[in-house]
Amino acid sequence: MMINIKEMTMVKPAEETPRHALWLSNLDLMTTSVHITNVYLYRNNGAANFFETSLLKDALSKVLVPFYPLAGRFRHNNAGRLEINCNSEGVLFVVAETCSIIDDFGDFAPTTELRRLTPAIDKSGGISSFPILAVQVTYFKCGAVSLGFSHQHRSADGTAAIYFVNSWSEVTRGIDLLHPPIIDRTLLRARDPPQPVYDHIEYKPVPTMKNPKQTIKSKSSDQESPIVRVFHVTRDQVNMLKASSKENGNGVKYSSFEILASHIWKCACKARSLPDDQLTKLFTLVNGRAKLCPPLPPNFFGNVLFASSTIVTVGDLISKPTGYGATKIRQTLVQMDNNYLKSAIDYLELQPSLIHGPGRGAEVFRNPNFGIVAWIGLPMYDADFGWGRPFYMGPAGLSFDGKAYILPTADNDGSFLVAIALQFEHMRVFEKLLYQVCVGKCAL
């Protein structure tokens, strides 16, 4: 696919905004140091001003007034801690066009091709040189439009990023923001002195391969780029998984996330042919906004994602019903109450190597471990800029072997999209196992 860049400009806040250093929390610093890429796709509704760039840029400049940290730049303070310099340097706005049609992307798998619909970030000048947020509007030959975002994860989590995009869309439609963002991250400051009371295995080193030969093979595979696939899981299939968990007298009602995450994790371990005595760690994320006491409001703008980890042996996960893994996942999530989350913040305060490092990456998901990011319940499809809702929204890149996304569909009918990255030989087996729930009696 050929993409022609037509324009690159910096959009700055429409009004003077506060100039100061924004302190970043331990949760901000624990996230990956890369820009996260997401893409929204829109069908042409026939309007003469369909995604007119002047309207988008004007609204962007207005919404950057309350969201002004996004127009700033990163820097290190005198103590070496990363912070945002709120200097209004602006958000990169890119206008592009292509002779391709939107349907050329098929299932919109988050591959390097889809990533080209998001702005490339030049980081050669250091952390204070590149924008925290960049936006790319790409016009397709068929009339469709994509809206691609690259935002530095340490500035905001997915909930906050979606809140920003939805706010931008409302301003474009002429709607005033009822709830401006709360940007004060000191609400997530550690206690003085820190008082961690839990072990916090989520921040401990992940299990390694027990078989030395498999370890060598795994490291060799890591040198290769995993392949990415997107699978559609219907509501009926999710219900089949839930029904299968009730065998042997299990009366627990699992959430769609718990049962689907367990099934995906189980299939991945099978596909990787891991031995029964191998430990495997599932990495997930928990939104702490409603769990903290007092709770943080939905318009809190920052990172409030807490890592959660569930560790089991492969033999138990594979040999037992899917409800076993779902129960283990639930036990992990239930313990993450206010006390646990505040303990986690304090624990990180005592781990400078974690919060001042490059952030965690491939090692979290590498064989024999796995990671799942769920966007269930997020208002992903509310970004209507005046020309209709997106027909697709999702990640534009997925490069870590052993990482998956669970995404709701635009229809909101209880079905999900599972985007996953695995090594080629593992993916061939995984895609067969994933849909075994549909064949005959579910023996999962």
Q: Which residues are known catalytic residues?
A: 153, 384
> How far apart (Å, rounded) are the C-alpha atoms in residues 323 and 243?
10
Give the pairing type, strands 3-11 and 91-98. Answer: antiparallel
According to DSSP, the residues that pair with 94 across neighbouring strands are 8, 136
Estimate the crossing angle of helix 322-334 against helix 256-271, to 10 degrees.
Answer: 120
